[in-house]
């Protein structure tokens, strides 16, 4: 399949690499060129204008925020000049309101739109083991099945309105950041009373919480491995999206407010470019525990 790809950060580059390896023709565009050159070495076609990616059969965008999508895709009018029959997959975490706006804009331009945010980190993306949360017309999802099967191990269809995928993604991210925060507090609680955090982690991940998220992030917290898999500053953006969507829907998320404040605390202490598991340092610091 002829695939366009815009947005080659850690996640986007890994996903594009999978598509190249699977034999798809992949046209790539990114504002910084280092990732473009790497993928060109793998067989991608570098294009000079993002509009060229919209001449493919399907285009995936992995851009960091509503504002970047507005700047790169909407403002330049890429939808109006898209190839007839193109399917656009928005794979990033965006606000529910902006996803609804994209539904209107795509419908007006006659471009098929699928909300397709993903669950997983760059290392998971590199293995093609993401979980894709897809929402859009069933026929459109069926048309891009080969692409979805290449980037992910499973596709979870949420509904026909693309914004529903973003609701599901924010719900999943809410549970994930809550788990990170809960483990951080539990580890600090145990250490203050002479139960090693590693012991608590082993109990949790060996019994009630034997799940990938708990295993991955408990290890990151214990080993202080905060190399940016998913930057804490971007995590704060996602928490703000949760709170905004919850407020508009009349669904309070009080614990998300706690997590937001702790993310702000962590960023104020210079952790913004580290993995969002670095928010654990807030709990340890508040418990007067050394965290180095």
What percentage of the chain reaches a pLDDT higher than 90?
97
* 205-231 pLDDT per residue, tens: 999 999 999 999 999 999 999 997 889
Instruction: State how far the Cα of 153 lies from the Cα of 19, in Å rounded to an integer.
Output: 13
46 band by pLDDT with thresholds 50, 70 and 90: very high
End-to-end CA distance of the chain: give it in Å, rounded: 49
Q: Where are the domains of the chain?
A: 2-161, 168-286
**Alpha-carbon torsion 135, 140, 142, 148, what sign?**
negative
Angle (nearest 5°) at CA 103 between 89 and 65: 60
285 band by pLDDT with thresholds 50, 70 and 90: very high
* 112-157 pLDDT per residue, tens: 999 999 999 999 999 999 999 999 999 999 999 999 999 999 999 9
Instruction: State how far the Cα of 39 lies from the Cα of 78, in Å rounded to an integer.
Output: 23
Looking at residue 291, its pLDDT comes to 57
CATH tag, 2-161: 3.40.50.720
Query: What's the predicted TM-score (pTM) here?
Result: 0.94
Instruction: Give the CA distances from residue 187 to residues 80, 178, 200, 215, 227, in Å, rounded to whole numbers and listed in that order.
Output: 52, 14, 7, 14, 20
Q: Kindly give the pairing relationship between strand 118-119 and strand 130-135.
A: antiparallel
Residue 195 confidence (pLDDT) above 70: yes
Which of the following is catalytic: 169, 225, 237, 274? 169
Q: Which class is 168-286 in CATH?
A: mainly alpha
* Contact predicate 268/260, CB 8 Å: no
For the question of residue 100 being annotated catalytic, the response is no
């Amino acid at each position: 399949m002829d695939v366009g790809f815009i947005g080659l950060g850690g996640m986007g580059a890994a996903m594009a690499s999978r598509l190249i390896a699977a034999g798809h023709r992949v046209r790539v565009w990114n504002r910084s060129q280092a990732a473009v050159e790497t993928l060109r070495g793998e067989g991608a076609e570098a294009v000079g204008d993002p509009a060229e990616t919209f001449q493919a059969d399907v285009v995936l965008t992995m851009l960091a925020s509503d504002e970047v999508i507005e700047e790169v895709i909407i403002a330049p009018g890429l939808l109006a000049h898209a190839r007839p029959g193109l399917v656009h997959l928005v794979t990033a975490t965006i606000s529910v309101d902006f996803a609804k706006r994209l539904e209107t804009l795509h419908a007006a331009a006659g471009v098929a739109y699928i909300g397709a945010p993903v669950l997983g980190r760059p290392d998971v993306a590199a293995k093609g083991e993401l979980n894709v949360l897809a929402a859009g017309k069933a026929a459109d999802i069926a048309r891009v099945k080969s692409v979805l099967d290449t980037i992910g191990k499973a596709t979870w269809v949420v509904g026909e309105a693309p914004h529903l995928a973003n609701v599901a993604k924010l719900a999943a991210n809410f549970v994930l950041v809550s788990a990170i925060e809960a483990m951080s507090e539990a580890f600090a609680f145990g250490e203050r009373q002479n139960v090693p955090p590693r012991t608590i982690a082993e109990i949790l991940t060996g019994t009630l919480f034997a799940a990938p998220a708990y295993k991955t992030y408990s290890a990151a917290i214990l080993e202080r491995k905060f190399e940016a898999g998913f930057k804490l500053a971007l995590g704060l953006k996602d928490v703000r999206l949760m709170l905004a969507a919850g407020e508009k829907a009349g669904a309070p998320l009080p614990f998300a407010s706690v997590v937001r404040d702790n993310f702000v605390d962590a960023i104020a202490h210079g952790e913004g470019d580290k993995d969002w598991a670095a928010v654990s340092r807030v709990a340890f610091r508040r418990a007067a525990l050394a965290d180095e």
